[in-house]
Structure 1
Amino acid sequence: MKLSKLYSNKPDLFETIIFSSGLNVIQAEIRLPENKKKDTHNLGKSTLGKLLDFCFLSQKKSEFFLFKHEQLFNQFVFFLELELEDGSYLTIRRGVTNAARISIKKHNDSHQDFTQLTNWDHENVPFDKAKEILDSILNFYCLKPWPYRKILGYLLRSQDDYRNVFQLRKFASKHKDWKPFLAHILGFNSDLITKHYELESQLKDARNREDIVQKELGGSIEDISRIDGLLLLKQQDVNERQRLLDQFDFHSVDQVKTKKLIDELDLKIATLNKRRYSLEFNRKKIELSLQKQQILFDPDKAESLYKEVGILFPKQLKKDFNQLIKFNRAITEERHKYLKEELSSIKKELIDINQTLLQLGEERTQTLSFLGETDIFDKYKQISNDLITLKADIAFLERQKEFIHKLQELRTEIRQLNKKYQKIQIDMEKDLEMQNKQETSLFSEIRLYFSRIIEDVISRKALLNVKINREGHLDFSADILDEAGCSTSADDGHTYKKLLCVAFDLAILRAHLKDNFPRFVYHDGIFESLDDRTKINLLNVIRQYSILDIQQIITVIDSDIPLDNNIFFNKNEIALVLHDEGIQGRLFKLPSW
């Protein structure tokens, strides 16, 4: 598929462009001296690429120039004529006002004027449907399962798209949206890469759900066996209390509560009281110890006293006393540290014991109250309350059991997904190794074309490389090599980055010449910032690829042309000349917007 013609319903405001099958130059000439030093001239050479994208059914966006200045363009209707693989033609009609309604027609003759046509094959078709129809007619089967628009980013390179060889401005989103497609057109198994991203997403989702379930469990995960055992005991208690309520007989309950009061509650209370007494005793001893341990001897005062009574106090003796005091202080500080830690632990345990004793005391009071209660209805009421509490406990355990089941299922799911993920990872590595190793693979072919283009332009080899990074995803790189075959930083500059982008696009097109694949590429400002020799070499490569049946549309400004126009470009290569001598020199014969 190539471009044949671009025109509108207002030829006086938008000049018709006829595209040749080879090289097409959109040349902007700065004729007014006062404009020669300006960086931008608003003639429309870069706008052409945006307009072509619009005719190829790009999504409507408010910031797009046709819609941003809709009052200027609302009457425009554009027509893009394409030459298809079988030699027939296809015209796409799209207006600005009703941009979501598209008309399409196939025809046998080129350079038609359908501005007044009434019998379209598909007329005013909804936007999404129109893209499906166009995708079906173009039939780029080697792009499947992706539609035709996926490749257009590499075929309509704007100035912003020279920043990265692989990730275009339109792909400034998640890698999963463009890496599988790029791998596909390079000859790799894109199904593996797509599945890899899907499994990664599923794993992330499953792990997030696992975290949620763990939080719902409250951080304490019990095993199923323990919960089942507790449920069995709780249910037994429920059945027993229900039987007592049904029979209205509380004698056995009295026996159970009496046994619990003697064997459990009183014993626990006595044990805790004994422990509390021991802790309180230790606490007081530690507090006294912390208060008493002070060093009262002062060597300075002793020296002064000795002087008063006329007795010599040797300096060495004072030094020994100071060292002894220092040593004792160090020991004392270390001991204080451990005593304080022990004191803190004792106080904490005392708080816990006091709280437990309060709870046990309350439970003992309730049990004694129950045993001392003579009113059978009060006992009925208390057992009913016990039954409600037991059932609430059972409901809680059942809910916890449900969460644990869900958690077990999620962990099983995560293990299975992880197993598939690792299998896909291995398959990706095998596919990568195979495509790199085979000299006849599509990737090897693209690699050779890519390097040859760079070598023809700047006499340096270049390497197109694909590897798997630590996260298990594909990484793409394009490097200019030195004489030893090592990567250099030359591609970091804008100039060489642009060359790498151009070489990549052309290499892709050439490698797919045997397929039903697009045969055109648009490069905006292709010669900007290049030196004259590089421009000449690049033009020679462009012409070579035109001979190979690859149509190229390039935009240039006359100041970037190193030689006379008649020598640098052939007349039949210039598709459109723009200039700054009034609005007639613009792409749109309208005032600047």
Structure 2
Amino acid sequence: MKISKIYCSEEKIFEDIVFNKGLNIILAEIRNPENKQKSSHCLGKSMLAALIDFCLLKKVGKEFFLKKNPKLFDHFIFYIEIMVSESQFVTIRRAVKAKSKIAIKTHSIGAKNYRDLPDKDWDFVGGFEKSKKLVNDILSFEILPNHTYRDTIAFFLRSPEGFSNVFRLPKYLQSNDVDWKPVVAELLGFKSKNIIVKYQKDKQLDSINNELSASVENEYETSMQEERLKVVLSLKIEEVEKKEQQYDSFDFTKADIEKPEILATEIDEKISVLIKDNYYLKNKIEHANKSIINYNFDLEEIKQFYKEIGIYFENQLNKDYSDLIQFNKEILSERNEIVQEMLKEYNKIYEENKITIKNLNVQKAELLSYINTTDSFEKFKLLQQEITELKTQIESIKVKINSIDIITGLTEKKSRLETEISNIVVSIKQDFFGEHNAYIETIRKHFNYILMEILGDAGVISTPLNKNNNIEFIPEIIDMNTSQVSSKDKGTTYKKLMCCALDLALLATYSNKKFIHFAYHDGIFDGLDSRQKNNFYNIIEEYCEKYNIQSILSSIQDELPESIQKTEKIDELKKRHVIVKILHDEGNDGRLFKMDAF
């Protein structure tokens, strides 16, 4: 899969960009001397990667630049032509306007213009999800066949935000590890099934541990308590049976005692049910109160800590922390609101039950007072009261035993889960450390070779297990003078280089497979010294030629390597169509979109 062409319905505002199969440069020329020192020039250099992603059916929100400006872009329709193979191309049509249908057409020759093609002549015109599925079927990747092309495309469309983490893409920053680590594992040639199952089992275990922590502190004490309760229950049942025998054989001289007796028994049963309900409600209320969490995180303390240890706290890092803090606050706030609503409902029912129990006791007392006219009636009343109290105690004990049985069941399930997880960890270790994996070995060789050629230091990709026995993906630069991990890999510039090295390593490794064969890197030369720029450019040329890779680079002219920065070299690259798009700061004609900055 390579990008062949991108064009638009508004061709006077957005000119066609035709890409070649190898090296492509999007060049931003700063012709106005006053703009030389600016860090941003609003030419649209960084927008092109986002636009390609949009055309490749990325799901976008209202903050996406085309959606943020509906008056400017709602009438725009974009087209992207993808080369699937030398004899197969596919064009995707996507309009900016909401709820517009996607159109798809396959063809055998590239560089087509389908602006005026009516819907009936497209192979498919339909909804967003069906369109993605059809494109996925057309591409038919051999790498990660169980995933869609959208799961991996972001590795090869790196904008400035995409360089913040080598393996964890921006779209996964707020996601759980299970959402992205299996994808990375498969991308590196590993099996992901056991990783996924491990995370699923961990989640189940966490749930059980939460239930147990709210119910019991000591497993031994719980077992002993259950045995005690069973003994007490047995004795209480024997006692109530004796009392009931006395009750059944009780003799009364008054004939109208039967109805009050039945009514009193029914009231006792209602009271018993309500006492049982309130026992459960009380436990729920206590558990809910304990689960309310206040999230306090002082970002200023983190900044001060970085300052004290002498490490610069980057703006991007500040933004990442702020976004993470805001995200956690919103989640906890929503969760606490739900718990508060539950508490309110539990307390309401609990108090209503207490009032009902009180009223039922008054009714029972009135009924018993009716038959409290003789000594015999007094004895009956006392006997009935004792039976009721015993039955209430028996029900309460049964509830407690049932709760302990639930705890015991959870404890047994926890033990089984822990055993299963241990076995899964063994399988993960076998997958990652025991089996021969030709793919990861090749990827590591390329990664190391690329960084050695650019920096003169070794590049390493490690896949250790963390303290929770979950896989980690760690890229590092090894200082060849000290043989120690270099601090270079913590800097933004070198992190960007490691991202590019990984992408090229993946493309080279899978160059003979049906997979992605292009990479878009925005501003890759920014921040590198002259030698590193030249080395990196040589590597890109080498890999494009040797592994049939399409590389798309965007750069300001002043940041280009010295070897191609001179006017005569730029002219040569233009003639060879290596420079496929020129942007400049001399008016709107120099912008990606030939209009005022937006």
TM-score, normalised to structure 2, is: 0.74
- Write the letter of the residue equivalent to 2:200: E
Equivalent in the alignment of 1:13: 13
Taking the aligned partners of 1:510 and 1:249, their CA distance within structure 2 comes to 99
Query: Helix, strand or coil for the counterpart of 2:476?
Result: strand
Taking the aligned partners of 1:580 and 1:551, their CA distance within structure 2 comes to 27
> Runs in 1 of length 4+ with deviation above 4 angstroms?
120-124, 219-223
**How far apart are 1:232 and its partner, in Å?**
2.2
Taking the aligned partners of 2:59 and 2:39, their CA distance within structure 1 comes to 30
Taking the aligned partners of 1:152 and 1:565, their CA distance within structure 2 comes to 34
Equivalent in the alignment of 1:474: 471
**How far apart are 1:481 and its partner, in Å?**
2.0
Residues 393, 144 of structure 1: alpha-carbon distance in 2 compared, 3 angstrom cutoff: farther
Please tell me whether residue 200 in structure 1 is matched to residue 207 in structure 2: no
Aligned sequence identity (%): 34
**How far apart are 1:99 and its partner, in Å?**
5.1
Equivalent in the alignment of 2:242: 240
Within a 5 Å distance, the mapping from 1:281-292 to structure 2 comes to none
Taking the aligned partners of 1:14 and 1:577, their CA distance within structure 2 comes to 13
**How far apart are 1:493 and its partner, in Å?**
2.2
> Does the Cα contact within 8 Å between 1:583 and 1:591 map onto a contact in 2?
yes
Taking the aligned partners of 1:125 and 1:566, their CA distance within structure 2 comes to 48
Taking the aligned partners of 1:85 and 1:234, their CA distance within structure 2 comes to 82
> Does the Cα contact within 8 Å between 2:144 and 2:187 map onto a contact in 1?
yes
- Write the letter of the residue equivalent to 1:556: S
Query: Helix, strand or coil for the counterpart of 1:128?
Result: helix
Taking the aligned partners of 1:235 and 1:184, their CA distance within structure 2 comes to 62
> Does the Cα contact within 8 Å between 2:106 and 2:123 map onto a contact in 1?
no
Counterpart among 518, 527, 534 of residue 520 in structure 1: 518
Taking the aligned partners of 1:525 and 1:154, their CA distance within structure 2 comes to 16
**How far apart are 1:33 and its partner, in Å?**
1.8
Query: Helix, strand or coil for the counterpart of 1:143?
Result: coil
Taking the aligned partners of 1:49 and 1:589, their CA distance within structure 2 comes to 17
Please tell me whether residue 591 in structure 1 is matched to residue 591 in structure 2: no
Equivalent in the alignment of 1:71: 71
> Does the Cα contact within 8 Å between 1:24 and 1:573 map onto a contact in 2?
yes
Equivalent in the alignment of 2:139: 138
Equivalent in the alignment of 1:537: 535
Q: Deviations over 1:248-305 (max 9, x none)?
A: 159xxxxxxxxxxxxxxxxxxxxxxxxxxxxxxxxxxxxxxxxxxxxxxxxxxxxxxx
> Does the Cα contact within 8 Å between 1:373 and 1:379 map onto a contact in 2?
no
> Does the Cα contact within 8 Å between 2:222 and 2:404 map onto a contact in 1?
no
Taking the aligned partners of 2:152 and 2:222, their CA distance within structure 1 comes to 53
Equivalent in the alignment of 1:353: none
Equivalent in the alignment of 1:558: 557
Range 199-208 or range 127-136, more displaced? 127-136
**How far apart are 1:102 and its partner, in Å?**
1.8
Query: Helix, strand or coil for the counterpart of 2:85?
Result: coil
Counterpart among 496, 499, 504 of residue 498 in structure 1: 496
**How far apart are 1:123 and its partner, in Å?**
4.3
Q: Deviations over 1:289-347 (max 9, x none)?
A: xxxxxxxxxxxxxxxxxxxxxxxxxxxxxxxxxxxxxxxxxxxxxxxxxxxxxxxxxxx
Equivalent in the alignment of 2:355: none
Counterpart among 443, 452, 457 of residue 454 in structure 2: 457
Taking the aligned partners of 1:85 and 1:206, their CA distance within structure 2 comes to 51
Taking the aligned partners of 1:101 and 1:391, their CA distance within structure 2 comes to 69
Taking the aligned partners of 1:58 and 1:535, their CA distance within structure 2 comes to 31
> Does the Cα contact within 8 Å between 2:87 and 2:109 map onto a contact in 1?
no
> Does the Cα contact within 8 Å between 1:104 and 1:120 map onto a contact in 2?
no
Equivalent in the alignment of 1:267: none
Query: Helix, strand or coil for the counterpart of 1:142?
Result: coil
Within a 5 Å distance, the mapping from 1:79-228 to structure 2 comes to 79-85=79-85, 87-98=87-98, 101-117=101-117, 118-119=119-120, 121=122, 123-173=124-174, 174-214=176-216, 223-228=225-230
Taking the aligned partners of 2:566 and 2:483, their CA distance within structure 1 comes to 37
CA RMSD in angstroms comes to 2.2
Residues 99, 583 of structure 1: alpha-carbon distance in 2 compared, 3 angstrom cutoff: farther
Range 517-526 or range 78-87, more displaced? 78-87
Taking the aligned partners of 1:243 and 1:565, their CA distance within structure 2 comes to 112
**How far apart are 1:121 and its partner, in Å?**
4.9
Taking the aligned partners of 2:387 and 2:85, their CA distance within structure 1 comes to 82
> Any gaps of 5 or more consecutive residues in structure 1?
251-371
Taking the aligned partners of 1:566 and 1:237, their CA distance within structure 2 comes to 107
Q: Deviations over 1:27-50 (max 9, x none)?
A: 111111221221110000100011
Residues 220, 196 of structure 1: alpha-carbon distance in 2 compared, 3 angstrom cutoff: closer
> Does the Cα contact within 8 Å between 2:466 and 2:472 map onto a contact in 1?
yes
- Write the letter of the residue equivalent to 1:145: N
Taking the aligned partners of 1:230 and 1:114, their CA distance within structure 2 comes to 85
Equivalent in the alignment of 1:26: 26
Q: Deviations over 1:455-477 (max 9, x none)?
A: 22223222222211222122222
**How far apart are 1:491 and its partner, in Å?**
2.0
> Does the Cα contact within 8 Å between 2:446 and 2:505 map onto a contact in 1?
yes
Within a 5 Å distance, the mapping from 1:47-446 to structure 2 comes to 47-85=47-85, 87-98=87-98, 101-117=101-117, 118-119=119-120, 121=122, 123-173=124-174, 174-214=176-216, 223-248=225-250, 375-434=375-434, 438=436, 441-446=438-443
Residues 86, 247 of structure 1: alpha-carbon distance in 2 compared, 3 angstrom cutoff: farther
Taking the aligned partners of 1:211 and 1:488, their CA distance within structure 2 comes to 43
Query: Helix, strand or coil for the counterpart of 2:210?
Result: helix
Q: Deviations over 1:373-411 (max 9, x none)?
A: 952112111211111111111111111121111111111
**How far apart are 1:186 and its partner, in Å?**
0.8
TM-score, normalised to structure 1, is: 0.75
Query: Helix, strand or coil for the counterpart of 1:78?
Result: strand
- Write the letter of the residue equivalent to 2:493: T
